[in-house]
Amino acid sequence: MSSSAKTARDVVIVDGVRTPFAKAGTKLKSVHAAQLGQVALRELIARTNLNVELVDEVIVGNTGSPSDAVNISRVVALNSGIPIKTSAVTVHRNCASALESISSGFERIKSGTMDIIVAGGTENMSQMPLIMPVAITSIIERLGSAKTSAAKISALWAWLMADLKQIKEMATTAPLAKTKYKPIIALADGLTDPFVGMNMGMTAEVIAKEFGITRREQDEYALKSHQKAIAAKAKIKEEMTPLYLPPDFNETLTDDIGPRDNQTMEALQKLKPFFDKVTGSITAGNSCPITDGAAMMLLMSREKAESLGYKPIARIRGYGYAGLEPERMGMGPAYSTPIALKRAGLSMKDMGRVELNEAFAAQVLANQKAFDSDDFGKKLGLPGKIGELRTEILNVNGGAIAYGHPVGATGTRLVLTLMKEMKRSQTQFGLATLCIGGGQGGSLIIENEG
């Protein structure tokens, strides 16, 4: 095993905690992303009895950028009791935004610039807005700058006409079809590649076809994800804090809303392909649901953690990001993992546990094939295959197909779940990796210290 000596500037993870994740449009739909982040961070501070005065920076991943909290990291920090003096930055690397918060924190600490970082992510996908199209905003601008009553009346009339056209378009065109007057669905835009114009689901279709992943394989994988998640319910609770549901607090969310204990092959097989209606295999059942949630993590330099009396759970050994064709973004893990392994001085054989984000079952299965393929390895310029990604160590507690994928928070969730699982199973090394919309992969390797 390639364990290296502990050094003072090692970057360690003291602890982490997350909110329950809930499928978009359910229990967390009215809880602002900043509030989700605050619940997780307040609990993290409490569990670690952290002296908040010592925090150097708060780094939070988020992709939705709520318009009333554009640097949401600062909002989360202040509402969590982090001092005014402490800087806060929001990072965005699409699906790996929260992983970016950890890798950014890693660099700041490794370099000796900082010692204590809060790294996390938060996302409320239920609250992603509908945006007025330019055809309407330009009329509203005209109204605002109208000087005479005649100009005002003319603009108001134009607005009314545009609204009528909007209603007509909404009634007569497909829900996701873009038209001149219909409101733009921010969520749908976010899930569409801005370079090649392909929906994320369609990119998964590309991979499924190229790697020959069948519908049945995908559905079987999806079913297992739910089964594993249901079986791991008690274990997963360790990483969660209850969320009292505002505004009335009549209900408290203590479990994820996502894993189904009644999921069956029959039900999965019945679903129609969502993206490619004719030859496709990607369904709502074998993809991850749109989800709300937040997760936070406390990073420190080893010397600082020791001087404060903390016993870290893990140390970060290395990370890597890589780019690939946007239309094959799901293969990202196969591109970024060799980089992370090389930086960590480790190989796939060393990995005891792997969390690979389940954006789509097809993409997970394709990655498994790619990892084990000499041809694919050579294509990446490696001497041979990346290394086998064994099913027994992959997503042992289920993955995003069950838990969901709150885009800006998932990176933290993966590392958190991985780290706690490695502690329980006493495995030395683990990999957290995900595919990134826009055509990237991200990987982070940690070593168990718990």
Candidates 112, 129, 212, 246; binder of another protein (CB under 8 A) is 246
Where in 174-213 is the site for another protein (CB under 8 A)?
A: none
Between residues 246 and 384, which has the closer beta carbon with respect to another protein?
246
Judge if the upstream peptide bond of residue 194 is cis by omega within 30 degrees of 0: no
Between residues 2 and 51, which has the closer beta carbon with respect to another protein?
51
Binding-residue total with another protein (CB under 8 A)? 23
* Catalytic position from the list 32, 226, 288, 435: 435
Verify whether residue 288 is a known catalytic residue: no
Between residues 239 and 447, which has the closer beta carbon with respect to another protein?
239
Residue 249 in the binding site for another protein (CB under 8 A)? yes
Verify whether residue 405 is a known catalytic residue: yes
Between residues 298 and 366, which has the closer beta carbon with respect to another protein?
298
Are the C-beta atoms of 407 and 329 separated by less than 8 Å?
no
Q: Stretches 74-82, 105-113, 178-186, 286-294: which one binds another protein (CB under 8 A)? A: 74-82
Candidates 248, 266, 375, 392; binder of another protein (CB under 8 A) is 248
Distance, CA of 91 to CA of 71 (rounded, Å): 9
Nearest CA to 408 out of 19, 115, 82 is that of 19
Between residues 242 and 450, which has the closer beta carbon with respect to another protein?
242
Please provide the DSSP assignment of 72-135 as one string.
HHHHHHHHTT--TTSEEEEE-BTBTHHHHHHHHHHHHHHTTS-SEEEEEEEEEGGGPPEE--HH
Distance, CA of 447 to CA of 142 (rounded, Å): 59
Residue 46 CB, shortest distance to another protein, in Å, is 3
Residue 115 in the binding site for another protein (CB under 8 A)? no
Candidates 18, 23, 42, 304; binder of another protein (CB under 8 A) is 42
* Catalytic position from the list 32, 92, 95, 288: 95
Q: What angle do CA 401, 260, 390 make, to 5 degrees?
A: 45
Please provide the DSSP assignment of 201-250 as one string.
HHHHHHHHHHHT--HHHHHHHHHHHHHHHHHTHHHHHTTB--EE-TTT--
Candidates 11, 14, 40, 50; binder of another protein (CB under 8 A) is 50
- The helix (H) or strand (E) run that includes residue 192 is none
Residue 297 in the binding site for another protein (CB under 8 A)? no
Residue 18 in the binding site for another protein (CB under 8 A)? no
Distance, CA of 109 to CA of 74 (rounded, Å): 20
Residues designated catalytic: 95, 405, 435
The contact set with another protein (CB under 8 A) reads 35, 38, 42-43, 45-47, 49-51, 79-81, 242, 244, 246-252, 254
